[in-house]
Structure 1
């Protein structure tokens, strides 16, 4: 199905909320971002906006904005099968897929441009925000996803699988905050909060930021604006984000880049992640490592998921969110609680999160502070 003039319909997936306060705060932000996205997609000229929301209340709220609700899949959720079900049930010829938190900086004007580019693609082509870690995609022939559905447990490999296993021509949008900044962690949101293109619903949901998180984010922002200040980026650092920070700021930046692609390559699933930083934390202990780091830089932005992957059992979502918020008392995982305590008590500001804090959300922070 396509709309008048070849308009492309959009499909938005909204995941469930967790049970803890930290998870619920993140879920409220996702719901707000989904509301902004639904409104902006409609303004951009989508033929229709379909929403699959795990929480019925989220679905009802988005339907009130004009979205068409879809039935949700039974647990456990499998992205490829869920998307294939929508394509078949709705008879979609083309589609624009978005995760709820995938495009918080995508204005209606940008979405309209991307949709126009999608309509102009050859039949066997797709336009994605990131080939190696896809958060949103415009697929000219939606049915080419059907035979690939089982190979898509999440949306991240969508662009890569379409190209490598489906034979599609896949174009990636140029790296920028609007194309690369999605959010999965509290620190992502702290780095996005001041961007001028943030949607109004999400902006309201983030006012005010939790105190510890907001204080550390503000201190790191001051560092980026201070000539000759020093900052460390640790983890799966994006060269585009690092380059943008170097180009716009006068800050000395140390980069400790490790394990990019650990999910897509399967190294995380196979237990093959290696990390020099992680080994130093394990050898010396988190407090000693953080103190050593503080002798070298005045602040740090740290993708701690590489350390988590190295040290063994993956912490729960509740623990990861509480750690990034700096809520030490809410972190049940002993090792992660120790790391969180060291970060909160550090004499330099440190933000911890996932890949976004050293990739798209770093680009957003730099764009906000140094336009």
Structure 2
């Protein structure tokens, strides 16, 4: 596909140790993804947008056309404006945008299938998730320019381009590989347990020294007939269905606020959560004691709680929460939640949307050794 440009945007490494560790993991993931996509022969070139080349140096010797576009340090980063500038500056007509942590389990064959399907589309978009896109192919890419101001993050791209710009949309068939996104440390630890994880990514996660024991305890729970699991947050029906089909366990599901970012409900302060309301009513300690009465383990999308509470802490606090690194958490409310979770009488994993969606299915596949959703 001579006119297809692969665009990958990588964020800064950061200053805090947790940011640096996650930043390095994302850069390893981005390099692996770039190689797999370019191995299809379907993309003419790669544009790599990043604040610097640290941890990406191996791409300088890549056997395909690659252009660097380094972030300007004299202005604040705005995703939509940055994307529009890249499209104009590099004259991109057909675009495959892939977030740094998107689809780390996707094989070259998987990307070949995606790009073959996109080649048949003269106009429109193809994405892994219409409500929260992690990767998206768009033609014409110029359609994005008028809606750049509506794109605070990449997650809103598919929704805005379809609903507001009117581009025809196709959503790729669900698979763990196409839907999984590395956004937080718990996502990375889950991916490292998956049999399809690239070796370089496994090694990058191992180098952090993060404790995977909670992830492994959930894997054991998923293998144990009769175990009980609570899921709470933006739980999609397909993830729950995969769990019901493949694991002989009992589940309680509290699914709420799906699409809170793409719909801008979070931006408008409209997020509401029944689970968070109960947490407020009884306090964190009693909340987790109640979970212990209901289940042996819990996967909790606490980003819904954060939005409902009107507090969206810096990445360091979010990462520290996911790692149960209580002493690293600056926000006193979130620290209280995690302190209670550490003392809970059940195994708890906390994170974001991925944890209770593709991350859940990745855990299931890692536990059972079989595909649980596939192309």
Does the TM-score normalized on the shorter chain lie above 0.5? yes
Residue-pair matches, total = 365
Unmatched runs of 5 consecutive residues or more in structure 2:
371-375
2:373 — aligned with what?
none
Provide the secondary structure at the position in 2 that maps to 1:362: helix
Matches within 5 A, 1:8-19: 8-19=4-15
Distance in 1 (CA, whole Å) between partners of 2:229 and 2:217 is 11
- Offset of residue 62 of structure 1: 3.1
For the residues of structure 2 that align with 1:331 and 1:148, how far apart are their CA atoms? 36
Deviation of the 1:209 alpha carbon = 6.5
Shift of 1:60: 3.4
Q: CA separation in 2, counterparts of 1:280 and 1:165?
A: 36
Task: Determine whether 1:33 maps to 2:29.
Answer: yes
SS in 2 for 1:56: coil
Structure 1 unaligned spans of 5+: none
1:73 Cα offset (Å): 4.4
Give the 3 Å change call, closer, same or farther, for CA 249–208 of structure 1 in structure 2: farther
SS in 2 for 1:224: helix
Separation in structure 2 between the aligned mates of residue 56 and residue 91 of structure 1, nearest angstrom: 23
The question of whether the paired residues in 1 share the 8 Å contact of 2:7 and 2:46 is answered with yes
Whether contact under 8 Å (2:24, 2:55) holds in the other structure is: no
Distance (Å, rounded) in 1 between the aligned partners of 2:291 and 2:9: 39
Contact residue 343 and residue 350 of structure 1 kept, 8 A: yes
1:1-371 equivalences in 2 (<5 Å): 3=2, 8-45=4-41, 46-66=43-63, 67-74=66-73, 75-121=75-121, 123-207=122-206, 210-212=209-211, 214-370=212-368, 371=370
Determine if contact 1:14/1:100 at 8 Å carries over to the other structure.
yes
Q: CA deviation at 1:59?
A: 4.6
Deviations 1:83-105 (A, max 9, x none): 22222222222111101101101
Match of 2:7, SS? strand
Does the 8 A contact of 2:159 with 2:262 survive in 1?
Answer: no
For normalisation by structure 2, the TM-score amounts to: 0.93
Q: Aligned equivalents of 1:96 and 1:153: distance in 2? A: 18
Displacement after TM superposition at 1:140 (Å): 2.7
Alignment partners' CA distance in 2, 1:321 and 1:196: 24
Which deviates more, 139-148 or 99-108?
A: 139-148
Check conservation: 2:31, 2:56, Cα contact below 8 A.
Answer: no
Contact 1:73–1:82 (CA under 8 A) maintained in structure 2: no
Task: Say whether the 8 Å CA contact 1:51–1:59 is kept in structure 2.
Answer: no
SS of residue paired to 2:165? coil
TM-score (norm 1): 0.94
SS in 2 for 1:34: helix
Asked whether the 8 Å contact 1:236–1:303 carries over to 2, the reply is yes
